[in-house]
Structures are given as C-alpha cells and as structure tokens.
Amino acid sequence: MLVWMLRKVMAERGIWTGAALARLLKEKAGYSLSAASISALLTGQPKQMKADTLDALCTALECTPSDLWVHTPPKQKEGA
C-alpha cells in the first residue's frame, strides 16, 4: 500500500498551510495549483497525480517522490 506523506514532509520543513505550500510551489518551482487542488492534496491520498505536479512538489519541498509516497507491504494473513 502507498501512504501519502505530504503533510509530514511539509511539517518537517515548517510549512503548515495550503497557502504557504502554494507560495512555495510558485516561488521555487514556478508552478501554480488552485486552492481546491492544494486542499485535495492535503486532505486525502491522491488517486492519481500528474508527473508535473509531483516534480513541482519535490522541487519546492526539496524532497524525492519516495519522501512523499511511502510503500508499506500489506499484512499477510496468518496461515497464508
């Protein structure tokens, strides 16, 4: 299972709001997202994401995709 870690990555960098993330995306990556898109990224795990958006997040937050998405293997059922 993939776990979306955007809020954790933001918090580690002292970024606490969607508005602050939007400013950082614009300043560091030259990328704009609507308030609704930022809100969706912050409130749930994305079902899909454009490569440009992922690249901009990584540039702005100075991280890698593996910082934003963490893979955890599913728990195996006993006796399986």
Question: Residues 8-44: pLDDT tens digits?
Answer: 999 999 999 999 999 999 999 999 999 999 999 999 9
In total, how many domains does the chain have?
1
Domain ranges, residue 28: 2-71
Q: Residue 77: inside a domain, yes or no?
A: no
The proportion of the chain whose per-residue pLDDT surpasses 90, expressed as a percent, equals 84
Q: Residue 76: inside a domain, yes or no?
A: no
Q: Residue 16: inside a domain, yes or no?
A: yes
Q: What is the full DSSP assignment across 22-80?
A: HHHIIIII-----HHHHHHHHHS--S---HHHHHHHHHHHT--HHHHEEE-PPPPPTT-
Q: Residue 78: inside a domain, yes or no?
A: no
Q: Residue 30: inside a domain, yes or no?
A: yes
Residue 51: pLDDT band with limits 50, 70, 90: very high
| CATH number of domain containing 32 | 1.10.260
